[in-house]
């Protein structure tokens, strides 16, 4: 070979043996003769020539097993790298298959970069999955599954994206409403659907089986599993086909735009949903019921209209343009009629029974002829007298209408709390059957919000009440093929599943459901996230630490805008520090202590018990990084700054 001609000094030629991973585990290493001034790229070339294998080696690089490092600087000489004949090098692909646990609980196999820092790896994964703002996510090691997996892991459904060529991922254009690289095959299309449509409600037993943190300390242990963003997967001992979780790590979701964030929004919702179902974040009973109601709504919409979410912007334009055209064409005839209808609202007329608990004169239910019109109910002695003056007219605006239903007992009552200057009047209306009940209930619901029967929502309201009634038929003999019917225990955490029977839970979820039933799928997802974000404990990652000068373990809560010191015994917040008062923080890597200085000479220091101090450091630096993002430069990701703020020794 001609290298010698380059250097005046004759360099000793020696043998370097390199294992080529692709040749199989048993294949002997390939030995190439090299000189110390040969650069890594040259070694690779020799290797490839000698291997006699014709294929695309472009993704391959040398991994130095002993030193746990990649030799990626191909311009460096062997001497500069410090490689000698005894170095056990492995020539392997930088992108390897990884089993990725998604926020929705499903596992996806894809090719991820094992050589770049994890931060970069996550960028790559998110690009492939079409998730914007990848800096908010990271990878962590999964919680070990309980050891009764005889047949379990065989049945685990794997979605596979490994066939997607990495080069194609950078093309952002859309086909059929999904990024191009998903449109290649039916299989990848299915994967995209899995990513962008929320999963059906899990079986209550499945929820109960999963790991739930029982205490703050348990929650703290989860955070010891985050990978180091500044080092590569290989360096952190992750092997090909290992399982890792992809999760939103930093709870400040920048620039959420439903139109472009279909996958991001869906996965965020899934993470939030599981956090609530698994009691990872605490909420009150009322909040749990509302979460349950929105989940029910999202489930329902995801089954019926998944396509609207995934359509591309261009398609949307076209659709709306066409729709506009349609409306314009028939606008001449129909809309005045619509308006007329609005002016002359339809009514409901029926014999119903009424019961007013406070009126001593009326004992029990009494039957009258009822008329519902313009957000108020009037009743008459009989149908014949309905032209005259009603016995009473009740305005329902601002009232509360609650179900009092027992399907098994064929009891269909509407409990109305009607506001009046003197207070709330309680009135019960008893209907004959489901059908009648659903119409009157829907009317009452709309009227309570000041809407009339002419409102388009009336029919859908009736439908949703009927489907909820169907859910209450817990009788196993009746048909359960209806996709709408869900066990309401799947919508709440096991604590509430234990506390309430299905027939107790269902009416309460129905009640909460009324307030969200009109939301579109996107709005429902957003609403769920909003309520999640409004929880007091939202976004706090816990770590057990020991504060300097203290002898007991305490909990440090790391939130998007502040640090919280929590007393382990009582669970009380002892102190909070806000980042924007922070002057500087230092990590003493030798004694693994984090020291922070705040305005006004406030100092604190702690060592970490449950998680490595690099993880804590990265959390704090990461949140400060997140706060530097602005809307103006919304698409620039300053990776360097991230590493500066979160990196190890050399960065600070």
Dihedrals phi, psi of 16, to nearest 5 degrees: -120, 125
User: Applying CB under 8 A, does 195 fall inside the site for other proteins?
Assistant: no
Of the candidates 542, 540, 554, 539, the one whose C-alpha atom is nearest the C-alpha of residue 606 is 554
**Cβ–Cβ < 8 Å for 565, 576:** yes
Identity of the residue, 308 or 436, whose beta carbon is nearer to other proteins in the bound complex = 308
d(CA 139, CA 615) in angstroms, rounded, equals 12
**Interface residue with other proteins, options 33, 483, 588, 633 (CB under 8 A):** 633
**Interface residue with other proteins, options 48, 89, 222, 465 (CB under 8 A):** 48
User: Applying CB under 8 A, does 365 fall inside the site for other proteins?
Assistant: no
Q: Which of residues 131-170 bind other proteins (CB under 8 A)?
A: 132, 166-167, 170
User: Applying CB under 8 A, does 186 fall inside the site for other proteins?
Assistant: no
Shortest Cβ distance from residue 316 to other proteins (Å)? Answer: 7
Shortest Cβ distance from residue 57 to other proteins (Å)? Answer: 6
**Interface residue with other proteins, options 65, 163, 205, 286 (CB under 8 A):** 286
Identity of the residue, 349 or 630, whose beta carbon is nearer to other proteins in the bound complex = 630
Q: Which of residues 16-45 bind other proteins (CB under 8 A)?
A: 39-42, 44-45
Give the pairing of strands 366-373 and 541-547: unpaired
**Interface residue with other proteins, options 20, 161, 290, 587 (CB under 8 A):** 290
Q: Determine the Cα angle at 37 with ends 34 and 40, to 5°.
A: 70
User: Applying CB under 8 A, does 529 fall inside the site for other proteins?
Assistant: yes
Six token digits for residue 253? 């979701």
Shortest Cβ distance from residue 123 to other proteins (Å)? Answer: 8
Identity of the residue, 12 or 343, whose beta carbon is nearer to other proteins in the bound complex = 343
Burial per residue of 595-631, b for 16 or more beta-carbon CB atoms within 10 angstroms, e otherwise: ebbbeeeeebbbebbbbebbbbbbbbbbbbbbeebee
Q: Give me the half-sphere count of Cα atoms (radius 13 Å) on the Cβ side of residue 504.
A: 7
- Alpha-carbon distances of 237 from 77, 241, 393, 617, 648, rounded to whole Å: 26, 12, 74, 21, 18
**Cβ–Cβ < 8 Å for 558, 577:** no
Alpha helices in 173-230 (DSSP H): 186-196, 204-209, 216-222
Shortest Cβ distance from residue 323 to other proteins (Å)? Answer: 6
Identity of the residue, 201 or 268, whose beta carbon is nearer to other proteins in the bound complex = 268
Identity of the residue, 242 or 287, whose beta carbon is nearer to other proteins in the bound complex = 287
Contact partners, residue 239, CB within 8 Å, separation at least 6:
none
Alpha helices in 285-350 (DSSP H): 285-304, 306-310, 313-343
Identity of the residue, 10 or 25, whose beta carbon is nearer to other proteins in the bound complex = 10
Q: Determine the Cα angle at 599 with ends 593 and 600, to 5°.
A: 110
User: Applying CB under 8 A, does 561 fall inside the site for other proteins?
Assistant: yes
> DSSP of 558-592, one letter per residue?
E-SSEEEEE-TTT--EEEEEEGGGEEEEEEETTTT
User: Applying CB under 8 A, does 607 fall inside the site for other proteins?
Assistant: no
Q: Which of residues 313-352 bind other proteins (CB under 8 A)?
A: 313-318, 320-325, 327-328, 331-333, 335-336, 339-340, 343
Shortest Cβ distance from residue 621 to other proteins (Å)? Answer: 9
Shortest Cβ distance from residue 28 to other proteins (Å)? Answer: 23
Six token digits for residue 90? 């492995």
**Interface residue with other proteins, options 27, 158, 173, 206 (CB under 8 A):** 173
Shortest Cβ distance from residue 70 to other proteins (Å)? Answer: 6
Q: Hey, is 480 helix, strand or coil?
A: coil
**Interface residue with other proteins, options 278, 454, 484, 637 (CB under 8 A):** 637
Of the candidates 472, 475, 466, the one whose C-alpha atom is nearest the C-alpha of residue 442 is 466
User: Applying CB under 8 A, does 420 fall inside the site for other proteins?
Assistant: yes
User: Applying CB under 8 A, does 635 fall inside the site for other proteins?
Assistant: yes
Binding mask 293-312 for other proteins (x = CB under 8 A): -------------------x
Shortest Cβ distance from residue 10 to other proteins (Å)? Answer: 16
**Interface residue with other proteins, options 576, 589, 592, 603 (CB under 8 A):** 576
User: Applying CB under 8 A, does 479 fall inside the site for other proteins?
Assistant: no
Of the candidates 143, 227, 245, the one whose C-alpha atom is nearest the C-alpha of residue 614 is 227
Contact stretch for other proteins (CB under 8 A) within 151-159, 193-201, 280-288, 460-468: 280-288
User: Applying CB under 8 A, does 120 fall inside the site for other proteins?
Assistant: yes
Identity of the residue, 115 or 467, whose beta carbon is nearer to other proteins in the bound complex = 115
Identity of the residue, 289 or 545, whose beta carbon is nearer to other proteins in the bound complex = 289
Q: How many CB atoms lie within 10 A of CB 187?
A: 12
Q: Give me the half-sphere count of Cα atoms (radius 13 Å) on the Cβ side of residue 443.
A: 25
**Cβ–Cβ < 8 Å for 253, 268:** yes
Shortest Cβ distance from residue 381 to other proteins (Å)? Answer: 27
Shortest Cβ distance from residue 332 to other proteins (Å)? Answer: 4
**Interface residue with other proteins, options 199, 374, 638, 648 (CB under 8 A):** 638
Q: Which of residues 201-260 bind other proteins (CB under 8 A)?
A: 252-253, 256, 259-260
Q: Which of residues 73-102 bind other proteins (CB under 8 A)?
A: 73-77, 94-95
Q: Which of residues 55-74 bind other proteins (CB under 8 A)?
A: 55-61, 69-70, 72-74
User: Applying CB under 8 A, does 537 fall inside the site for other proteins?
Assistant: yes
**Cβ–Cβ < 8 Å for 404, 441:** no
Quick one: 217 exposed, middle or buried, by C-beta within 10 A (0-12, 13-18, 19+)? middle
**Interface residue with other proteins, options 423, 460, 498, 588 (CB under 8 A):** 423
Number of residues that bind other proteins (CB under 8 A): 126
Contact stretch for other proteins (CB under 8 A) within 366-374, 455-463, 541-549, 575-583: 575-583
Identity of the residue, 55 or 552, whose beta carbon is nearer to other proteins in the bound complex = 55
Identity of the residue, 368 or 623, whose beta carbon is nearer to other proteins in the bound complex = 623
Q: How many CB atoms lie within 10 A of CB 86?
A: 8
Q: How many residues does the chain have?
A: 652
Taking every pair of C-alpha atoms in the chain, what is the biggest distance, in angstroms? Answer: 118
**Cβ–Cβ < 8 Å for 246, 104:** no
**Cβ–Cβ < 8 Å for 272, 528:** yes
Based on C-alpha coordinates, what's the Rg of the chain? 32
């Amino acid at each position: 070979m001609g290298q010698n001609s380059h250097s005046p000094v004759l360099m000793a030629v020696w043998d370097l043996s390199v294992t080529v991973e692709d040749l199989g585990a048993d294949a002997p290493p390939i030995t190439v003769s090299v000189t110390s001034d040969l650069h890594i790229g040259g070694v690779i070339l020799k290797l490839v020539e000698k291997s006699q294998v014709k294929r695309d080696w472009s993704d391959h690089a040398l991994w130095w097993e002993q030193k746990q490092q990649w030799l990626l600087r191909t311009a460096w000489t062997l001497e500069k790298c410090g490689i000698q004949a005894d170095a056990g090098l492995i020539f392997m692909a930088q992108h390897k298959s990884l089993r990725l646990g998604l926020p929705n609980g499903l596992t996806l196999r894809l090719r991820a970069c094992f050589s770049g820092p994890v931060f970069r790896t996550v960028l790559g994964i998110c690009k492939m999955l079409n998730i914007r703002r990848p800096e908010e996510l990271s990878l962590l090691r999964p919680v070990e599954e309980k050891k009764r997996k005889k047949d379990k892991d065989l049945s685990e459904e794997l979605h596979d994206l490994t066939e997607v060529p990495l080069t194609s991922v950078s093309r952002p254009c859309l086909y059929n409403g999904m990024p191009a690289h998903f449109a290649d095959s039916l299989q990848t299309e299915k994967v995209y659907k899995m990513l962008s449509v929320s999963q059906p409600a899990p079986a209550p037993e499945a929820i109960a089986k999963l790991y739930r943190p029982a205490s703050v300390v348990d929650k703290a242990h989860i955070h010891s599993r985050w990978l180091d963003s500044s080092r590569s997967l290989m360096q952190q001992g992750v092997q090909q086909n290992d399982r890792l979780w992809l999760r939103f790590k930093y709870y400040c979701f920048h620039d959420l735009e439903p139109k472009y964030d279909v996958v991001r929004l869906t996965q965020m919702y899934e993470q939030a949903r599981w956090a609530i179902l698994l009691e990872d974040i605490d909420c009150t009973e009322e909040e749990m019921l509302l979460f349950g109601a929105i989940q029910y709504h999202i489930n329902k919409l995801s089954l019926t209209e998944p396509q609207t979410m995934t359509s591309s912007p261009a398609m949307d334009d076209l659709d709306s343009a066409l729709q506009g055209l349609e409306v314009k064409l028939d606008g001449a005839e129909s809309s005045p009629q619509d308006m007329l209808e609005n002016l002359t609202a339809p009514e409901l007329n029926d014999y119903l029974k009424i019961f007013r608990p406070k009126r001593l004169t009326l004992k029990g239910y009494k039957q009258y002829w009822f008329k519902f019109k313009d957000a108020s109910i009037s009743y008459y002695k009989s149908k014949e007298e309905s032209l005259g003056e009603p016995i009473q007219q009740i305005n329902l605006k601002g009232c509360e209408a609650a179900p009092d239903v027992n399907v098994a007992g064929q009891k269909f009552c509407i409990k109305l709390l009607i506001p009046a200057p003197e207070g709330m009047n309680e009135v019960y209306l008893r209907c004959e059957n489901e059908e009648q009940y659903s119409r009157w209930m829907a009317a009452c619901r709309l009227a309570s919000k000041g809407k009339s029967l002419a409102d388009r929502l009336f029919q859908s309201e009736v439908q949703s009440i009927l489907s909820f009634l169907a859910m209450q038929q817990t009788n196993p003999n009746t048909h359960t093929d209806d996709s709408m019917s869900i066990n309401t225990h799947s919508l709440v955490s096991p604590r509430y599943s234990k506390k309430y029977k299905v027939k107790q839970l269902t009416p309460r979820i129905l009640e909460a459901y009324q307030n969200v039933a009109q939301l579109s799928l996107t709005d429902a997802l957003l609403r769920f996230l909003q309520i999640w974000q409004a929880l007091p404990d939202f976004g706090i990652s816990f770590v057990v630490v020991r504060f300097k000068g203290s002898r007991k373990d305490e909990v440090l809560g790391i939130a998007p805008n502040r640090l919280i010191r929590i007393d382990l015994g009582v669970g009380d917040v002892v102190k909070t520090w806000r980042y924007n008062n922070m002057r500087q923080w230092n990590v003493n890597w030798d004694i693994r202590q984090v020291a922070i200085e705040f305005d006004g000479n406030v100092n604190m220091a702690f060592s970490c018990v449950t998680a490595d101090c690099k993880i804590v450091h990265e959390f704090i630096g990461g949140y400060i990084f997140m706060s530097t993002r602005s809307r103006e430069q919304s698409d620039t990701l300053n990776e360097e700054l991230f590493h500066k703020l979160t990196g190890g020794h050399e960065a600070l």
